[in-house]
Amino acid sequence: MSEQGNSIPPLKIKRVGIVVGEASGDILGAGLVAELKRRFPQCEFEGIGGPRMEALEFRSLFNMERLAVMGLVEPLKRLPELLSIRKQLRKHFIANPPDIFIGIDAPDFNLSLEQSIRAAGVPTAHYVSPSVWAWRQGRVKKIERAVDLMLTLFPFEESFYRDHQVRVTCVGHTLADDIALEPNQQGARNQLGLSISPQQKVVALLPGSRGAEVKHLGRVFFEAATLCTEVLPNIQFVVAAANEKRLEQIQLLTQDFPELPLKVVLQNSHAVMAAADVVLMASGTTTLEALLLKKPMVIAYKMAWLSWQILRRLVRSPFVGLPNLLAGKQLVPELLQDEATPENIAKALGQMLQDAGYVNQLQASYRDIHLSLRRNADVAAADAICELLVQRRNIHGKA
């Protein structure tokens, strides 16, 4: 990217605007900033970033935590503040145009910001596709107006954008780059202090990172675990608590299951999954990590009745779990809402614990998916951004 022929000077990037809205975006942003700094050591980066980005001399104009709101009600409560932040960022980047502006995830916040900045003549990219292929597909029209380049994590997203004439590059996922193709199960067990006999199986329980998820799934998971022990007595269950609040919530629930062989671990879901033979988990992005760790899994989800009725009418995808979405077929069970009963979950877990042939076949599929996502994401994202800027320079004649 540094040379474009003898008559064309090397690409120069002096300033980049980036806005991320939560910790996962900070991870992606830090990787991208590090790679762009390697190529353009004098480049300055500013906008909104987290601690990983700030450690790379990224200048945050606002605290990232102010954007980290989830759900339906909380964003409405914070709407005046969020609109004020977006207005100030829009004014700043239009008055001081960067070479490129990159929104990382946080689509409800970033896409409108990107659209305004792009209309002012600044090239824009968006990193991490919203789930437009699954629901609210009409958003692709706004994306087309807002971005010059969409950077996706998954190959199946790439074809959707190409069909809608949006410039797109699949860069893979940083987790696929970071997680070994052959995970170290015994090392994870040692890390967690698990002393497991050869006859014992370890089942990881991940009921979610939000209070509502643990409320709807926690007791169901523990009841399913109890049913499993009636059929397969040599099981050790390990529960991952996402934070201190979830730890308190889970420990309160476990008081009703004193006979269950349980170990609760705080903030170490990676090791909990790596140590397991099978994982029972709430639907979400963590299912990708379980896939990359090559773990058989049962995906479950429950929510408030009204929310479920609304969501099931909006979602067009046949699957919700990333393993099934990435495979284009059902690799692992998805037990949603009324199907997420202790009996159904226990049956699915039992089958996985006893069917070695199924597990071997599943892990072979996982390995193929892992390889398809292992694209050196930081480098691939930087390459795509540089290619966009080189093309624009050649068209508009700007160095």
State what percent of residues in the chain have pLDDT above 90. 68
Q: Which is higher by pLDDT, 243 or 124?
A: 124
**Residue with structure tokens 């998971």?**
221
pLDDT at 68: 64
For range 276-304, the mean pLDDT: 92
The SS3 assignment for 50 reads: coil
pLDDT of residue 398: 55
Q: How sure is the predictor about 5, in pLDDT bands with cuts at 50, 70 and 90?
A: very low
Q: Residue 96: is its pLDDT beyond 90?
A: yes
Please answer whether residues 235 and 166 qualify as being in contact, where contact means their C-beta atoms are separated by less than 8 angstroms: no
Banded model confidence at residue 4, pLDDT cuts 50, 70, 90: very low
pLDDT at 315: 66
Angle, alpha carbons 389-390-394 (nearest 5°): 115
Q: What is the pLDDT of residues 164-222, one digit of tens each?
A: 899 999 999 999 999 999 999 999 999 999 988 888 999 999 998 878 889 999 999 99
- Return the bridge partners of 299, or none: 281, 334
pLDDT at residue 382 above 90? yes
Amino acid at 50: G
C-alpha span between 331 and 397 (Å, rounded): 50
What is the average pLDDT across 31-56?
A: 96
Burial class (CB within 10 angstroms; exposed 0-12, middle 13-18, buried 19+) of 356 = exposed
Let me know how long the chain is.
399
For residues 197 and 277, the answer to whether their CB atoms sit within 8 Å is no
Cβ atoms within 10 Å, residue 304: 11
Share the mean pLDDT of the chain.
89
pLDDT computed for residue 24 by the predictor: 81
211-225 residue pLDDT tens: 888 999 999 999 999
Among 128-132, 253-257, 333-337, which stretch is predicted with the lowest mean pLDDT? 128-132
Per residue, the 3-state secondary structure of 329-359, as one string, reads CCCCCEEEHHHCCHHHHHHHHHHHHHCHHHH
* Better pLDDT: 284 or 230: 230
Percentage of the chain with pLDDT > 70? 89
Please report the pLDDT score of residue 75 as a whole number: 59
Q: What is the pLDDT of residue 67?
A: 77
More confident of the two residues 162 and 320: 162
Tell me which DSSP letter residue 103 carries. Answer: E
Phi, then psi, of 266 in degrees rounded to 5: -95, 125
Q: Report whether 224 contacts 349 (CB < 8 A).
A: yes
Q: At what angle do helices 342-354 and 356-373 cross, to 10 degrees?
A: 90
**Between these two residues, 339 and 10, which has the higher pLDDT value?**
339
Residue corresponding to tokens 């929310």: 307
Instruction: State residue 395's pLDDT score.
Output: 76
- Dihedrals phi, psi of 243, to nearest 5 degrees: -160, 180
pLDDT band at 72 (very low <50, low <70, confident <90, very high): very low
Give mean pLDDT, residues 70-88: 74
Q: Are strands 59-60 and 44-48 parallel, antiparallel or unpaired?
A: parallel
Report, as an integer, the average pLDDT of 64-74. 63
- Residues 320-333 have a mean pLDDT of 91
